[in-house]
A and B are shown apart, each in its own frame.
Chain A
Amino acid sequence: MLFNSIDFLIFFILVVGFIGIVKYRKFQHIFLLIASYFFFYYTSNYLVILLIFSTLMDYCIGKQIWKTENIQNKKILLILSLIGNLGLLGFFKYADFAILQFNILGEQFNLNSEIPFLNLALPIGISFYTFQTISYTVDIYRGKLKPAQSFKEFALFVAFFPQLVAGPIVRASEFLPQLREKIQEFETNGKIRQIILHNSNLKLGITLIVMGFFKKMFFADNIAPLVNEIFSNPYGLESFTIILGAIAFGFQIYGDFSGYTDIAIGAALILGFKLPVNFNKPYFAISPSDFWRRWHISLSSWLRDYLYIPLGGNKKSNARTYANLTIVMFLGGLWHGASWNFVVWGLLHGVYLAVHKIIGDKFPSLKENKFLKSRSGKIVSIFVTQYFVFLAWIAFRIQDTDAMIYAIQKYVFLDFMTTETIEFVLLHKLSIGILGLFIILNFISYKKNTKEVISNLKLRYWILILAIPISLILLFYDATPNDFIYFKF
């Protein structure tokens, strides 16, 4: 069920209506769980079994890890959970990719046997919910989290429909306490919480949903044709056209993914749940590490806590730290999909982070540099950082390796030709206009949280302000809505 479909709108109104009418708390929670499974089943049919399997497995293992005193046994149980989760993820997401690589290798060595592809359907959301369940068992193993008190609660944490398909990747320590009356960090005690529709949550939630749809359907979907035009066949294009494509894709994916996240956070908020923030003005980042504190925050913090730190983080030698950064980002890239372009994208970001760290280590005085601390210094840092971020987006967008290399070369080594770029811009002035408007709106909202500002308006102004994006959403409604980019991951 796509968020940007009428099916979801009807489903969500029914769920909220039911939760609002039925006050019996236990029933509310069960209903929410059933609704979440329905949501998943509606789109993914029998693959709901995988979700239930993953939930059952980690619920049982989590309990056992908590009960077991023996450290060795705890470790074995954790490894079981990791094998189960990563095995599922690996099998469904990477099996055909691995077979392809094996077949290519076999061809090189003249082994005249090809392994047939499995052609498995990729279960929607598997990358997200497996990471959630892994964080659950690891946190229990580390003693940071008590297991969920009931299967129902754990199942709701895994399957909660607003974030099931494409995140944000929620930690059990953030979600489980919200199911109980007494909210204490890392605690899941207290009576089951009644779900009440609060004024402020409702208003902010609706604002977030509307703005999310607006970002996706007005901005991202209307910038997409421009991006497709450039990157479907970049050969022969001028440098400035490639740069335009990279910028356009950067904003398309931002509008698409942050739009989705806004809808997810808004929908959860209306139901009384707070999901973690996933984006914080990423294109104002002043360094690669700053970018990853602002872009897909729930993934980058997951990678930090469950991969980078276990690898040793920055506690070992400098060389090990740089290697850790590169390994983590390489795996982060691979997490996005079974394709080499994601690996290249991840590696590029790994190299950025490592090089940034090396520079910081070699020239510690840079941290205190007056120019870099000044306003103009920050602007320069933003431009330099974004130059590299947009370069990496080319790798993310173009699957074909040769085309990717061509586009990256054009991006790095400018040819200063403009004839075809001007022609291209004139041919696509409407899409470029929408891209420009999106960039301007991002600049305007740099200092203020626009969604909060709008939701704090008096009702009569709120009505009028929201009517504008809603009108545009309706005018740009497509009978065959475009999938969210991150639904594929």
Chain B
Amino acid sequence: MVKKIIFSIFISFIIAFTIFLGIIQIPEKNQEVIGQSNYLEIQEKFFSKDFEINEKKIFILGSSYIQALNTTQINSKIKSQCQSCQVYNLSIQGDSIDKRIKIIDSMIAVKPELIIYGISEGDFTHSKNSEFNTSNSILPNLQKIIDTEVNLSQYFEFIGIPPSPKDKTWNMIRQINKDESTNIRFNPFPNTPFLKILKANTVIISELELKSLRTNIQSLGSINEPEENKILKNLKQIIIDFQDKDIKIALFIVPHHDYVISAESLKFKKSFEIIKNELENTTQVNIYPRIESYSEMSIWHDLHHIAVNNKSLIYSDDIAEIILKELDR
């Protein structure tokens, strides 16, 4: 009987898991975004195309946090100083440093003039909000060891389960009964080959809505020390690879609303400072700080993303200035 019960709960789990997989893998309508399966393929296709020979390519790298960067606006700003420059916003939704390192060789092959990489605290974290601080302990931290060695999330990703099914479920529930047209994805600007945004991403939300989102802020987890931080190592490698080929590279901290930043602990902020210092000291790369005044502006789509909207062009203008500074170096 015990075996029967164990078998039954196993069956129950299989049924539940099938339902779960069935629901969680329903793609969003008209979705043509880069996923796990076509990540390398689509990018390699892009980098193997024939670029104009005299064109000085400037690549802006990052995740959805840079999707609001308007290439038309940036190009118009920098053309006065660099006529042959062409800015590409290579934002990929859900991108990470660990993924991007896989495509660096193809990127180097097209010889860009300058790389501007948008990073944030979340890029360097490993998420465990209940983790006990054992930094002063002489005893081994089993949780950390298992997290690092086993890293279950990679297996979930492999079978198509998002890191947080809850987020996707909520998004799907919210999509029900919504206008079909809001699900159509499109390229907002020229030279944004991997960017497919929803019409909804263009919406600037009110202060009241921003405030209501504040309560959903989840801890970003914790940032490992530089010597234990694999993501930092990968980013350093990316920077060194570019620098070795005489390709200029600079980093900037992507904007997040002040509600997000103030929700993080002092320890977390300090850890990120240590990461930044380590990057600057070991690679001599310029890291441009987050522009905090954005928090006071009505330009936000949510607490992490500036809306892809003409009212948020200030973001593009500021990045254009960074590009000009870097070109002058």
* Chain A residues proximal to chain B, CB less than 8 Å: 1-2, 5-7, 20, 41-47, 121, 124, 197-199, 202-203, 206, 221, 225, 228-229, 232-233, 427-428, 430, 459, 462-464, 466-468, 470-471, 473-483, 487
Contacts and interface: CB of A to CB of B under 8 A. Distances in A.
Given A229-B212, A427-B212, A475-B165, A197 B12 contact: no
B148 interface: no
Majority secondary structure, A binding face: helix
A233 B212 CA distance: 11
Given A43-B143, A466-B12, A487-B130, A477 B166 contact: yes
Nearest to B133: A121
The 3 closest A-B pairs by CB, nearest first: A470-B16, A228-B215, A474-B20
B132 A475 contact: no
A476 B130 contact: no
B1 A477 contact: no
B199 interface: no
A121 B211 CA distance: 31
A376 B139 CA distance: 61
B2 A470 contact: no
B146 interface: yes
A232 B215 contact: yes
A127 B6 CA distance: 35
Interface string B138-157: 11011100100000110000
A144 to B, nearest CB: 36
Interface in B1-49: 1-2, 4-6, 8-9, 11-13, 15-17, 19-20, 23-24
B8 A463 contact: yes
B81 interface: no
A474 B2 contact: no
B169 interface: yes
B24 A475 contact: yes
Contact of A45 (B132, B153, B169): B132
Contacts of B226: none
A199 B1 contact: yes
Contact of A206 (B5, B11, B167): B5
Given A232-B214, A459-B4, A471 B19 contact: yes
Contacts of B130: 2, 5, 43, 481, 483, 487
Contacts of B209: 427
B163 A479 contact: yes
B171 to A, nearest CB: 12
Given A199-B5, A480-B218, A464 B15 contact: yes
Contacts of A199: 1-2, 5
Contacts of B215: 225, 228-229, 232
B164 A478 contact: yes
Given A45-B132, A124-B132, A478 B142 contact: no
Given A229-B212, A463-B8, A464-B15, A477 B132 contact: no
Contacts of B219: 480
A475 B129 contact: no
A246 to B, nearest CB: 16
A475 B169 contact: yes
B165 A41 contact: no
Contact of A477 (B11, B19, B134, B164): B164
Contacts of A7: 143, 146
Contact of B8 (A43, A197, A233, A462): A462
A462 B13 CA distance: 12
Bin the interface of chain B by size: 35 or more
Given A43-B130, A467-B12, A476-B166, 14 more contacts: A41-B142, A202-B6, A221-B166, A464-B15, A466-B12, A467-B19, A470-B12, A471-B15, A474-B165, A477-B164, A478-B167, A479-B127, A480-B127, A480-B164
Contacts of A487: 130
A20 B6 CA distance: 12
Contacts of B128: 480
A46 B139 contact: yes
Nearest to A203: B5
A121 B131 CA distance: 12
Contacts of A476: 165-166, 169
A464 B24 CA distance: 20
B53 interface: no
B173 interface: yes
Contact of B129 (A197, A225, A468, A480): A480
Contacts of B17: 470, 474
B203 to A, nearest CB: 15
B164 A471 contact: no
Nearest to A48: B139
Contacts of B129: 480-483
Contacts of A6: 152
17 contacts: A6-B152, A7-B146, A42-B142, A46-B134, A198-B2, A202-B5, A203-B5, A228-B216, A233-B211, A427-B212, A466-B9, A471-B20, A473-B16, A475-B24, A479-B163, A481-B130, A487-B130
Contacts of B169: 475-476
B137 interface: yes
B193 interface: no
A45 B139 contact: yes
